[in-house]
Chain A
Amino acid sequence: MPKRTDIQKILVIGSGPIVIGQAAEFDYSGTQACQSLKEEGYTVILANSNPATIMTDHTIADTVYMEPLTVEFLSKIIRKERPDAILPTLGGQTGLNLAVALDESGILEETGTELLGTKLEAIQQAEDREKFRSLMNEINEPVPESQIVNTVDQALSFADEIGYPLIVRPAYTLGGTGGGMCYTEQDLREITRNGLSLSPVNQCLIERNIAGFKEIEYEVMRDKNDQAIVVCNMENIDPVGIHTGDSIVVAPSQTLSDREYQMLRSASLKIIRALKIEGGCNVQLALDTDSFQYYIIEVNPRVSRSSALASKATGYPIAKIAAKIAIGMTLDEIMNPITGTTYALYEPSLDYVVTKFPRFPFDKFVLGNRQLGTQMKATGEVMAIGRNFEESMLKGIRSLDISGEDFYLPNLSEKTVEELTERLVKPDDERIYVLAEVMRKGMTVEEIHQLTKIDRFFLNKLRKIIDFELKLAENHKNFELLEEAKLLGLSDTQIARVWNVEVDTVYQMRKDAGLFPVYKMVDTCAAEFESETPYFYSAYEEENESVVTDRKKVLVIGSGPIRIGQGIEFDYATVHSVLALKEAGFEAIIMNSNPETVSTDFSVSDKLYFEPLTLEDVMHVVELEKPEGVIVQFGGQTAINLAEGLERRGVQILGTPLEAIDTAEDRDKFEQLLQELNIPQPQGKSVRQLDQAKEAAGSIGYPVLVRPSYVIGGSQMEIVYSEDELESYLAKTNHIKHKHPVLIDKYLTGIEVEVDAISDGETTIIPGVMEHIERAGVHSGDSIAVYPTQRLSTNIKQKCVDITIKIAEKLGVKGLINIQFVVHKNEVYVLEVNPRASRTIPFLSKITGVTMANIATRCIIGKSLKEMGYERGLLPEPKTVSVKVPVFSFEKLRSVDTMLGPEMKSTGEAIGRDRTLEKALYKGLTASGLKIPMEGAVLITVADKDKQEAGEIAKRFFDLGFNLYATSGTAKHLQSLDLPVSEVGKVDAEGKNVLSIIEKGEVQVVVNSLTSGKKPRSDGFRIRRQAVEHGIACLTSLDTAEAIVNVIDSTTFTARPAVSGKAVVL
């Protein structure tokens, strides 16, 4: 059926900031949807508060609103734009929940706006546990025994009926937030209570535990003509019990016979038909390992993380097709874009194996609870394609950027079998390495299967790799085995470790023999139809399908999995670089390993290599394509880290030379550079030895900032106030043993300033100078950034600009450079220089209209800024104030301290724009998910050094009508200021204490600063966690607190007597 002509204007709702459970995949799906709708001639209005996305580019939709995703703001947009329809099923759970809320608010009826795609009723039927269960009963599809509860007591009485273990699943929460497995009554009480408070409808499902069943997913699509297909099925290597977002997943399923495959396919299609889904849908099923018994676990009536994965795994663009279905088209008339000759009504056939690995943030949150369960903890994922399982899996492992190019964690080999066995039973983020290690230590497949319930098929594959390592070790530098190793997917690094030789030796052996991979095409149809899609993966086979053209080409390296410190911002920059290269007439080739992103959409570049971002894998592409050079400055630290190796192997790095990168990263060279240019920086030293560290810190004077060099997002960076603290810091970082040194700097307080600039080596332009709300010491990625600056004098700002230009031109930067400053006692100090794309590129590009990555790319390929019409210096600044507000995923990460510091913790960002800073902040904070209270109470408990400042803030809260609570020390100080304050007991005190008032919802804001050192499980830690778990704003920086007071002040009124403390004279 042809598309609808009764609608012209469509509002697409995005998914907002990136949090665990809702990441870049919705940028990919949203971007596809917008393009798909525009392609059909509709006017597209987009609402999304996440500036780091491609979808919020002005080229993707006709009109873009970067406003908070709340009913309040969406209603304004709808009233203003009067869209005929809303497409809500492509913006994740956020988009969907918002659509439901908008419908309930009555705004859609008022403006005559309809919801496209799957009907609201169907969405509710799929999402509401009770309705879903009764539908499944109606159509005879089995669901595990379960009960919906609204109280903890109901949960307990259900447990009495059917026994433990049980699973708790809160209704309408993201990525299984608040859910968990319960083995005891205590577990059940705790998890249910937490789940109920997190569920917007105060509802949880208590379910029989079917842990150990195979977990299988089907990605299905249906159109209004009731035609339905399966795009892809996937099998989780980990059985039911670990959230699918945290599981290692393979596509297609590997251990299902056709009867099982078809049985589950038919069930999935029956469900999508019963729900009358119009678009994409994800069905999760559990299959007994010993019979045909299966259960339906869950249905997501929308495009999801899994559908992004399925799209990349098969080549079938689910979101694009879902958008077309939403406007009334049917599968039999939509073309399959990958072949161009066949139709979308088709079930892709794969002739390769796809493996997805989750990427966890525990390299950052070392103290976090790393155990995996029903609540998702991964921040991102990687995907790998191979012609056999081992190859696919090993590629996936090296894409993770955790164990380098190897499949081996040295610290695990020191563990005993007992220790490792425990970790098999209670899986954590290092699961795959633990499995490998117990095999190395001799555990059998059968033993592991009994402990983990992982299918023997997968364990046997793993066994094969480990056994092969042994065989390899016994045959030093044997070429036949090298060949076999490459077929199995082992990296040169892994082989080199086993042989105890240098990587380059293995590489040379291969080079001499011409042992290189070929590239195979992803074409949805296993080569049955001709296809011209430029989407490739490597394999050690005969026929190479990647035809090398005679065009001039450039290879752009992406940023790999989304992780804390290296988020979607880098994908944004990568995509823009690719587009700029295409505009300039180059063949733009991209390499990346992240299935969630826009950059791995095969329609973005001229050629896409879906491969791990390691030296070996990049070299293979370089050797085939022979590009003019490689661009590494947009792919974050992952890409930058490749530069040295590439240059060593004779590859041209385009843009800023490696030497400049090295100068910026190497402490001594950097210091020398600044001295030469006469630019002040905090006094500092780089050391390699423990005793040197103490001496250096002593001579600089505490407090000092310590960190290892060459890391992402301030990993393991800390402010250290004494020698004791320094010692404990050094004890827990192992970097001192490694090649890269530890840096020790004087910690200076002051306003932090951040500058992003573009240089062609001769001319440097500065699209924007930003200041941070939080003083230096809080990681720039976790600070609220403000543009244009509000507190800097013209003089200081000019100093920043001048220094930026000096450094950029001295380093010979070609492309982007990011510099962070601290303004301390009216002097500008340079904190950090990053000669690459930074996190703030998309934010700045959007608010200034300067397409920074594009211009930088043109500089890289030899255009001068003068030719482009730019002159050296700061570009004009607009009046509108914009803020970038960090977004955290603390509620998903138990045992992680929410205290902000030099180490980055945020997973995403939101934008706020308006006429004044306060208005912009209000929007930004709201968009970030913070509820700004207009009345109520505030709990203040701060360290001694912060008491004075906290007093001022307390006074302002009080003036605005807030009640004050404080712990004894802080309370005393507040009393001394004549502020009425209720003193509450410490954490474990009887009666009213700091935790109980948070739990009972008696306070709306918590202001808490670090007492001393970094003791985990301290009182402060428990207060902060308590606030997070109860959804209460916990401000750990007094600057953030002050900013929020300013916002409240600007939107409410104070009660202040006209005259006070004086006798009234008549």
Chain B
Amino acid sequence: MKRLLILEDGTIFEGQAFGSSEESIGEVVFNTGMTGYQETLSDPSYCGQIVTMTYPLIGNYGINKDDFETINPAIFGFVVKEYCETPSNFRSDESLDTFLKANDIPGIAGIDTRKLTKILRKHGTMRGILTKANENISVEEGLSKLKNKEPLTDQVARVSTMKPYVAPGRGYRIVLVDFGMKHGILRELTKRDCHVTVVPYNYSADNILRLKPDGIMLTNGPGNPKNVPESIEMIKKVIPSIPTFGICLGHQLLALACGANTDKLKFGHRGSNHPVYDFETKRAYLTSQNHGYAVTEDSIKSTELELTQVALNDKTVEGVKHSKYPAFSVQYHPEASPGPDDTNYLFDKFIDTITTFKATLKEEA
């Protein structure tokens, strides 16, 4: 069955439909990871986006029960060169195609994904429409559908938890503010025996403080950080008194809460091979990234934030820390999944920050 992908500049790709046969409109982005499509598919940060995988063979090792980053995938569409119908791996439970069908995610295969990637790189991220399977519509029709559909602004609300819940442990009490959390973040905290209370993105500062957390984790999430102003206000109130660690959207929100600014990148960073230079350790690390927005470097200067890390290649802000409060954040994903675990030590650093902070409090007391 045929299907079209029409971009807002009028570029049209014809390929084969797989997954759900429904239509979908979203922001078309590309991811350069050669493995990890299951984690990508289930990363809530992709809410509202149609993701193109630059690696041409996707689905080779199937879909398994272990590697999900969320229960209900939020991705709007999946673009591949070729999907594998006969996956092979000891953990494989089903094929990519059946998984996408079961989760109502439309996919398109058999298109020149490298051409698409180059278009996105040159023109910047664009919106696009994946047409219904076997539906023959003209470019004009597709473009008008695109135009008539307002871009999303409520992605965080769509993917954040509705109610607080607890992942119990015997260690530090962490409040994890869920903007679209990947399971990996929770896993890293529980691995360190933390008692994690996951709260919705719009949970108030007072309610958070009432939980008496030792630390606050601001997670990743989809979309523009400026779409969740209430969270920014919350962060302003909690960081003076509670050690805070932000990841991805959480990092952008921390920066906004401290008075810095964020902006949209031309085509974003999505993949498992992004080198980041850390000014503190004077070393570079390979990181897993997925962000379309970034903190602007100039805007940091007038704040109490310090730049700690930058992307080696394009100097995008990748990490900041607060000069007074025990708060720090990174733009990338130290929890990996998918991607390298080079920066996994940041979770230890978070635990150490809490320990040090508690010791200081004790001394002051």
A253 to B121, CA, bound (A): 26
Name the CB-closest residue of A to B312: A343
Q: Does B86 touch A at the CB level, under 8 Å?
A: yes
Nearest Cβ in chain B — how far from A937, in angstroms?
59
Q: Evaluate contact between A229 and B54: CB separation under 8 angstroms.
A: no
Q: Which residues of A contact B118 (CB under 8 A)?
A: 527, 543
A258 B339 Cβ-Cβ under 8 A: yes
Which of A345-353, A736-744, A785-793, A891-899 has 4 or more CB atoms under 8 Å from chain B?
Answer: A345-353
Whole-angstrom CA separation of A351 from B271 in the bound complex:
13
Contact check, B114 vs A541: say whether CB atoms are below 8 A apart: yes
A341 touches B313 (CB 8 A): yes
Partner of A350, one of B34, B66, B272, B336: B34
* Chain B residue contacts of A347, Cβ below 8 A: 272-273, 286, 340
Given known A227-B283, A343-B313, A528-B32, contact A351–B67 (CB-CB < 8 A): no
Tell me the bound Cα distance from A765 to B258 in angstroms: 79
A902 to B277, CA, bound (A): 61
User: Which of B88-96, B134-142, B202-210 binds A?
Assistant: B88-96
Q: Which of the segments A193-201, A453-461, A560-568 contacts the partner chain? A: A453-461
Interface flag for B341 (CB, 8 Å):
yes
Interfacial chain B residues near A259, Cβ < 8 Å? 66-67, 337
Contacts of A542 in B (CB 8 A): 111-112, 115
Most buried by A among B34, B86, B272, B336: B34
Q: Is the interface of B mostly helix, strand, loop or mixed?
A: loop
Q: Which of B269-299 contact A (CB under 8 A)?
A: 271-273, 275, 277, 282-284, 286
Cβ–Cβ contact B114 & A261, under 8 A: no
Contact B273 A387 (CB under 8 A): no
Does chain B have a CB within 8 A of A388? yes
Kindly identify, within residues 106 to 147 of chain B, every residue whose CB is under 8 Å from any CB belonging to chain A. 111-115, 117-118, 121
- Residue in A265, A345, A349, A388 whose CB lies within 8 Å of B275: A345
Given contacts A257-B38, A257-B91, A528-B271, is CB(A456)–CB(B341) below 8 Å?
Answer: no
Please tell me if the beta carbons of A266 and B55 are within 8 angstroms of each other in the complex: no
Number of residues in B with C-beta < 8 Å to the partner? Answer: 51
Question: Is the beta-carbon distance between B57 and A353 smaller than 8 angstroms?
Answer: yes
B35 within 8 A of partner (CB): yes
Taking the complex as formed, is A342 at the interface, i.e. its CB lies under 8 A from any CB of chain B? yes
Given A255-B88, A526-B32, answer yes or no on A346-B275 (Cβ-Cβ < 8 Å): yes
When chains A and B are docked, how far (Å) is the Cα of A255 from the Cα of B57?
Answer: 10
Q: Across the interface, do B67 and A257 meet the contact criterion of CB distance under 8 Å?
A: yes
- Total chain A interface residues with beta-carbon distance under 8 A: 50
The CA-CA distance from A389 to B84 in the complex, in Å, is 11
A527 touches B340 (CB 8 A): no
Whether the Cβ atoms of B54 and A526 lie closer than 8 Å is: yes
Q: How far is the CA of A256 from the CA of B89 in the complex (A)?
A: 7
Task: Let me know if A332 and B57 touch, CB within 8 A.
Answer: no
**A452 CB within 8 Å of chain B:** no
Could you give, for residues 321-343 of chain B, a 1 whenever the CB lies within 8 Å of some chain A CB and a 0 otherwise? 00000000000000011111100
Q: Is B259 an interface residue (CB 8 A)?
A: no
A256 to B82, CA, bound (A): 17
The one of B55, B84, B88 in contact with A351, judged by C-beta atoms closer than 8 angstroms, is B55
- The answer to whether A349 touches B60, judged by C-beta atoms less than 8 angstroms apart, is no
Q: Is the CB of A346 within 8 A of B273?
A: yes
Which residues on the B side are within 8 Å of A349 (C-beta)? 32-34, 54-55, 271-273
**0/1 per residue, A502-529, Cβ < 8 Å to B?**
0000000000000000001000011111
B contact residues around A530 at 8 Å (CB): 121
**Nearest A residue to B55, CB-CB:** A351
Cα–Cα distance between A352 and B114 once the two chains are bound (Å): 10
A253 to B36, CA, bound (A): 12
Cβ B54 vs Cβ A258 within 8 A: no
Interface check A914, CB cutoff 8 A: no
Distance in Å from the Cβ of A542 to the closest Cβ of chain B?
Answer: 4
- CB neighbours of A414 from chain B (8 A): none
Contact B283 A225 (CB under 8 A): yes
Judge if B178 is at the interface, Cβ distance under 8 Å. no
- Measured in the bound complex, the distance between the Cα atoms of B89 and A265 in whole Å is 18
Inter-subunit contact A528/B121 (CB<8 Å)? yes
Q: Nearest-CB distance from B8 to chain A (Å)?
A: 19
Asked if A289 is at the interface of the complex by the 8 Å CB criterion, the answer is yes
Residues of B64-102 contacting chain A, CB below 8 A? 64, 66-67, 81-82, 84, 86-91
B283–A389 touching, CB < 8 Å: no
State in angstroms the CA–CA spacing of A253 and B55 once bound together. 12
What separation, in Å, do the CA atoms of A343 and B39 have in the docked complex? 27
Contact between A527 and B61, CB atoms less than 8 A apart? no
Answer yes or no: A901 CB below 8 A from chain B CBs.
Answer: no
**Complex CA distance for A513 and B11, rounded to whole angstroms:** 24
Expressed in whole angstroms, the Cα–Cα distance for A623 and B118 within the complex equals 25
**If the complex has contacts A332-B275, A346-B273, A349-B33, are A258 and B67 also in contact, measured as CB distance less than 8 A?**
yes
Residues of chain A lying within 8 A (CB to CB) of residue B213: none
Of residues 322 through 375 on chain A, the ones whose CB sits less than 8 Å from some CB of chain B are 331-332, 341-343, 345-353
Q: Given A349-B54, A350-B34, A457-B60, decide whether A543 and B114 contact each other with a Cβ distance below 8 A.
A: yes
* Extra A-B contacts (6), CB below 8 Å, given A255-B61, A261-B35, A351-B55: A257-B64, A266-B341, A332-B277, A343-B284, A343-B313, A542-B115
- A residues neighboring B (CB under 8 Å): 225-227, 229, 252-259, 261-262, 265-266, 289-291, 331-332, 341-343, 345-353, 387-389, 455-457, 460, 520, 525-530, 541-543
The 9 sampled A-B contact pairs (Cβ below 8 Å) are A256-B61, A332-B283, A347-B286, A353-B57, A388-B57, A457-B87, A526-B271, A527-B121, A529-B121
